[in-house]
Structure 1
Amino acid sequence: MSAPEPSAPPTNELDSIRRWLADLRASVERKSDGLSPEQLAARSVPPSSLSVLGLVRHLAQMEHFWFVKTLSRSDEPQLYVEDGDWDAQFRGAVADQAVVDDAFATWRSVQARADEVLDHLDASDLNFVWDPEDRIGSVRDVLLQVVYEYSRHCGHLDLLREAIDGRTGE
């Protein structure tokens, strides 16, 4: 089961969540479209290390963590996190075309892997709970966490893009 077409009404909660996720991913594409490596790596407000490129790397890391490591139970290392240093994903977002290419290729590759995980879920799987004591201990919680992260960071991307060239990517 793949993500429903944008024009098709969702038939269940899983389809609805996947539609929102697809829309948020597309929003990141729009908000970063046409920017140079220097613009993508431009920091927001000192001392913050937040940048469009840093957020793309973070979103790749975030989807990888939730869909590959958590739902698929893979023991792969964290993406862009060096020795537990979570800020590395942002500090490493430098104005270099190779870094830009890697970030977007990795983000898109992780999306494809995440979609494979989601393709194997049934709407009833959302109710699966692996740890009732964990704040994010069910499949539904993971999906909502990912949508939450994207929504929050799309707002950051609006502000970053507007500071770069006056556009918000919409």
Structure 2
Amino acid sequence: MTGTPAPQHRSPRWDDDTRPDPPAVGGERETLGAVLDWHRATFELKCAGLTPRQLSERAVPPSGLSLHGILRHLAGVERWWFRIQFAGEDVPLLHYSDAEPDQDFDDLDGDVDEAFAVWRAECARSRQITAAAASLEETGIRKWTGDPVSLRRILVDMIAEYARHNGHADLLRERIDGSAGM
């Protein structure tokens, strides 16, 4: 192979990283699903090995973010986009009310293991809903506008949501115990 040589150094990976890389070549549905799952696994990896107290630590003042709060938020986002808006399921919102819109981030009294179980269940349900859709063009209804929203758009928005919060998780984890890596 000629041309520009491959770089010798890459971003450090976590020692116990078992995430499968998303496909470098593949169809749109396969690629979007794999990238979203990679981001889900990335968030879980950023939380691995920490105590409940550490997961609830607001480690980057003045921000009130914690890994536990982001976990609760991501479970709610999974439910909101896939179950409520796309599939039209009549299920309650998680960790949100109009009176307390930030309770996902602010109310960290709950059990962290239970929060992980809820998040994993919501991710599994999101995968089922995605797999059952005939195409990425299928639509759900945006609750705040009544307009249609495609599964494709939801997947792209969810990838962006996880990417944003994985960046937060990077900073939090590094402040908590010095761990870093992609």
Category of TM-score, reference length = shorter chain: 0.7 to 0.9
Q: CA deviation at 1:168?
A: 2.7
TM-score with structure 1 length normalisation?
0.83
- Give the CA RMSD over aligned residues: 2.4
The one-character-per-residue Cα deviations of 1:88-140 (angstroms, maximum 9, x if unpaired) are 0111124xxx6101110000010111111011123xx2223566987872221
Which residue in 2 is equivalent to 1:147?
A: 159
Out of 148, 158, 166, the residue aligned to residue 178 of structure 2 is: 166
Q: Is the 8 A contact 1:49 1:91 kept in 2?
A: yes
Among residues 33, 41, 45, which one is paired with 1:26 in the alignment? 41
After TM superposition, the structure 1 = structure 2 runs for residues 106-121 of structure 1, keeping only pairs within 5 Å, are 106-121=118-133
* Percent identity over paired residues: 37
State the shift of 1:10 in Å: 5.2
Equivalent residue, structure 1, for 2:67: 52
Once residues 151 and 106 of structure 1 are traced to their aligned partners in structure 2, the CA distance between those partners, rounded to angstroms, is 20
The residue correspondences of 1:122-137 to structure 2 (distance < 5 A) are 122=134, 125-129=135-139, 137=149
Asked if the contact 1:30–1:169 (Cα under 8 Å) also holds between the matched residues in 2, the reply is no
Judging by fraction of residues, say which structure has more helix. Answer: 1
What is the Cα deviation at residue 75 of structure 1? 2.0
Which is worse superposed, 13-22 or 82-91? 82-91
Match of 2:92 among 77, 91, 107: 77
In the alignment, structure 1 segments of 5+ residues that lack a partner are: none
Structure 2 residue corresponding to 1:101, chosen from 113, 117, 142 = 113
Matched AA of 1:80: H
Count of paired positions: 161
In structure 1, distance between residues paired with 2:55 and 2:23: 34
| Secondary structure in 1 matching 2:31 | helix
Instruction: Compare 133-142 and 152-161 and name the one that shifted more.
Output: 133-142
Letter in 1 for 2:93: Q
- The amino acid that maps onto 2:151 is V
Q: Does the CA contact (< 8 Å) of 2:60 and 2:172 recur in 1?
A: no
